[in-house]
Structure 1
């Protein structure tokens, strides 16, 4: 079953574990290379315990009814039992999705509609070191809010996280901004063509270009064109870029790392979906020279997906790379699903637990943070230095869950 968390009567995703508070903001860039993403970033100031905070100041996980409608479409068209159960329930699925998530909060200060003031500017660590940048690519039928648990945890340790919302038809919903500042909506259309992966890779590099403009102080947010983003000027460490992805986003990560334009120091893949690159996984593995951490789930990384992934792994030559599978886990452990699905929703998405969701979440995040600490040239390591030994000890204590591939 899923794990529902409540504080002061408010349902929320897990609290970030790092020493810094977290801010959140949505950004949509302008022009032909426009991208839409949600930012999670550390903010300075005295950190008030989450239990003492007003949840009304936190970020809404819910993005709107089109997203629930798109996810219902995904469930109906992909589950094996959809022909008789889910098709009959289809008029109610999006209402159920709305009911599950409409009041869900993310424990990060929502700064949309404004900007960090001078005292709360996102300046990374207490030593004002620049923030390493992590670009995140989501999986099929996900969206920019679906990795809030991982993103807030990374941001609380000093990272600047950009969670993309892909607009190739694979997100449950998304939109484009018109010249009149209105939204033109698109709903999930599934995996239809190879060009979707190319589109996703372009959005990854467009996100990097947006990060560079943000660091220069020249980025315009189409969602709030009247508000400056100048408080992020000079705050990003663009020499320490990380690319991360789940499922289809894991495949997107591998393809982007193999691209001649690759500018990422390391990559992280969570349960990469190998179908879009099944034609020649060996060639893709050889083309990725960047160190990669891959963490897969027990139920997803099997059959044809596992065979293709092993071919990629065997062809990949970066000795720093690590490949793990977590026992007793499902594909949806890689995102926010355990914290929001509810019993019925978890059954619909084929969820199951051998280990508690808290342990799996902490183990996954600790693997990522220890990997980043080892292979990034972080300007000020004091934040991580204080916690990495604890995280390494947790990994050691739970090594029976990990299978090293």
Structure 2
């Protein structure tokens, strides 16, 4: 089920439930292996009720026309409906998706493109504790804004959440230069522009802040997954530089990120992924370089690792929470995930399926798709989206609270019992695999 939320005439994703206000900004690191991500983090100051805030100060969910174009292309090439119908509807799908998300806001203070004062730039909890870090990996043809509901909710509970945008290696031959408007008739991307890129669109920053764009073109199998894994480790390096006070943001090179220096608990990091990001999460956790304490997979897409899920399961030696949807986790995907689960010997790990849910419940889709968009993306109406969203977020927060060594638990201590009670009240939705 999809649901549209409005406050003061503005459409938005759900309000973060935690006790802290949340800030947000985009960051792109330097160099050939630069990573692009959206960062959600708690800010100091009194939390003003969201109904009393000016939505104009909130973060835009919409990232631009290239992203709508890329996602429409993904829908057209992957859905099971008659191809000729979808091809005929492609201009409408692009316009509809673009219109649907253009005015959507995320109830977090946008701190990009400006020099916030010390209060707005602050990142510590009122108790002065260091922030545990969660890195998020999106699914196929998604982008850095697609986890805004979950990321803002976690940040309001004291976490720094870094949502990656999976994209290409910074090689000029894979790109065409951005024109003033990508929608111009002769402003297109080269046919090979999306090799190993799995976001619906993305860009690299060039000289004089120019942008080289790429648009989604398809799944590239193992090479793409390998690249995603490296991007996650690139994000880990960025977190460490952020904590050291040495990270430079190519999107705002003159804006210092010094407010984050020493504010992160880099020894307490979690990794989360949805769909293809779930597979990416498992691969990273199995890598000898893994530095994450726990992992969370939402509806992991097992196709890329279907050849030997047992080996992957044995290689993951830390606690994992896996939450799958009923409509997606069937057939070959379910068999592969169960083979991985049976080979995975970490007793603290938990594997659930949520009844009456679809693959898109794992991200922001229920809050932006609209009824027509929800139908196109195979949505259903079994459970209210706010129940599924709260249940999923509560499972994640209680899991992180239990298995991360959080420096100051006072923020979570007051809410975890309430979240655990909600899980118990809705345990009929959960199937324990």
Secondary structure in 1 matching 2:209: coil
Aligned in 2, Cα 1:18/1:303: closer, same or farther, shift over 3 Å? same
CA distance in 2, matches of 1:80, 1:274: 19
Partner residue, 1:187: 215
Deviations 1:85-140 (A, max 9, x none): 21110122111111000000000000001244212334332111000000000001
Deviations 1:267-298 (A, max 9, x none): 00000000000110000000000110000000
CA distance in 2, matches of 1:125, 1:347: 41
Q: Is the 8 A contact 1:175 1:185 kept in 2?
A: yes
Secondary structure in 2 matching 1:306: helix
Secondary structure in 2 matching 1:66: helix
CA distance in 2, matches of 1:250, 1:341: 22
Deviations 1:40-94 (A, max 9, x none): 0000101100000000000000000000000000000001114132111012211
1:377 aligns with 2:405: yes
Q: Supply the RMSD in Å over aligned alpha carbons.
A: 0.8
1:94-133 to structure 2, matched below 5 A, reads: 94-133=94-133
1:247-286 to structure 2, matched below 5 A, reads: 247-286=275-314
Secondary structure in 2 matching 1:127: coil
1:160-175 to structure 2, matched below 5 A, reads: 160-167=160-167, 168-175=196-203
1:141 aligns with 2:141: yes
Q: Post-superposition, which runs of at least 4 consecutive aligned residues in structure 1 deviate over 4 A?
A: none
CA distance in 2, matches of 1:97, 1:79: 16
**TM-score, scaled to structure 1:** 0.99
**Aligned partner (choices 300, 312, 331) of residue 340 of structure 2:** 312
Partner residue, 1:403: 431
1:2-401 to structure 2, matched below 5 A, reads: 2-167=2-167, 168-401=196-429
Deviations 1:300-329 (A, max 9, x none): 000000000000000001111000000000
Q: How many residues align?
A: 405
CA distance in 1, matches of 2:115, 2:280: 31
Secondary structure in 2 matching 1:347: helix
Q: Is the 8 A contact 1:295 1:326 kept in 2?
A: yes
Deviations 1:13-32 (A, max 9, x none): 00000000000000000012
CA distance in 2, matches of 1:402, 1:89: 37
CA distance in 1, matches of 2:315, 2:346: 10
CA distance in 2, matches of 1:166, 1:237: 24
Aligned in 2, Cα 1:116/1:320: closer, same or farther, shift over 3 Å? farther
Q: Is the 8 A contact 1:25 1:110 kept in 2?
A: yes
Deviations 1:194-248 (A, max 9, x none): 1100000000000000000011111000001111111111110001000000000
Q: Is the 8 A contact 1:2 1:340 kept in 2?
A: yes
Secondary structure in 2 matching 1:23: strand
Q: Is the 8 A contact 1:116 1:122 kept in 2?
A: no
- Kindly state the Cα deviation for residue 189 of structure 1 after the two structures are TM-superposed: 1.6
Aligned in 2, Cα 1:335/1:164: closer, same or farther, shift over 3 Å? same
